[in-house]
Structure 1
Amino acid sequence: MNEAYDRAAELIVGADALLVCAGAGMGVDSGLPDFRGTEGFWRAYPPYERLGLKFEEIADPAHFADDPALAWGFYGHRLHLYRDTVPHEGFEVLRSWGARVFTSNVDGQFQKAGFTDVAEVHGSIHHVQCVEPCRDEIWECSFDVEVDPVTMRAVGELPSCPNCGGLARPNILMFGDWGWVPHRSQAQLDALNQWRRSHRNLVVLEIGAGTAVPTVRRQAELASAASGALVRINVREPEVRHGRGVSLPVGALEALTTLARRTA
């Protein structure tokens, strides 16, 4: 593995720009669940095992119409979790390298760590929209949602749309989601693509992005296609195709702190 670390450090030092493509594995060292597989999801949220609900079933916008307390129970709990979580030291390593970020994570951990240019391809739990939606508007989530930890259902008044008074929902792209308002995320992606076009000697650092939802992997492979300058950090699925990149089969914090020492 020393050879892989040496090659990764060489790429980072020689790069004109660094793009981080981060999946759920980025937050594991901060204590966040990665929802890997049904068993992993149920370990993080035992009440849903009793209900027989998988992640892709609870993360369905239909629940906001059919059972809003159930829907906001899940997202309200995650909102509290992400607000209370402190980003691990690896985030600061990336920030010290001046990295730009593309992520499928909706937790806002990169912004919490001080990043300003983050492309959140699936939206953010810290922003909300109308369920309908009545208007193409997105606003910051400034409220709290009380959640019963036993039933995982929201208790009390639920967030509402300031325009029509109907139910509000997180501005997150869910499974089978035709009501998501995408313009906030699209503006971020447009800015990232413009930045990418101005940096030819680009190194891509892919962190904690699996193949189950391959959005981040595809972005990382696309961005590094011309050069093969890809560093894939992944405990379970570290392989790179056709040798086009460097594979580090470790967690985010371990990889980043080791690379920080080797690039100092």
Structure 2
Amino acid sequence: MNSKVSVHGLNLFYKGFQALRDINLEILANRVTALIGPSGCGKSTFLRTLNRMNDLYEGVRVQGRVLIDGDDIYRERYDVMALRKKVGMVFQKPNPFPMSIYDNVAYGPRVHGIKNRRRLDEIVETSLRAASLWDEVSDRLHRGATGLSAGQQQRLCIARLLAVEPEVLLMDEPTATLDPIAALKVEELIRVLKHDYTIIMVTRNTRQAARVSDYTAFFLAGELVEHGMTGDMFTMPKDRRTEDYITGRFG
């Protein structure tokens, strides 16, 4: 199986504080990789290194290499805008734009130069279908997106992301603010999407990681303690700290 993302010797500093320490990780294409660990362990920071969202914070310094399809995204003069099209992100709290459902999904394609209405119609429908939302909203596409339920808003944000044809989906606790039924729909969607995308998701819910991920990486105090197939990690962890976290002794 091919690695989509390869991380070598990654260190990250927020001014004088070291948030990530010598991370080495291979992430396979068309698989779901869950990043688990207690709050403040570095998992969200690591996720943001994969589309250089940490660049937006003052005083951040990165060492090491992050390769996507073999290309180092931290090399000089790398096209960060193209990176964020290829590697999109879904946040913990749904953040639809204050515009219609249709315009939310069409926003990215329009930014990238698509103006033809028929083509935009196709993209909007295809993206909403891929996000398992079309049947729920097809009769109100031109109504405000903020009128949707929280779960629908999160799936709309996923549809908005899919509309620009990414290859990697980063999800930072995508169900943390949702009710159990809405969270289940997002989990089911993740299982479907992995056939077409590489998905890397942060979750503090170890049961969710066990349900939806193929691989799991356990972070603690900025270090990658253990990484492997989810079934193996949850039944036969190699490190005692992993076992203690999974079984609820801390975290």
Pair in the same fold by TM > 0.5: no
TM-score by length of 2: 0.29
Indicate the structure with greater strand content.
2
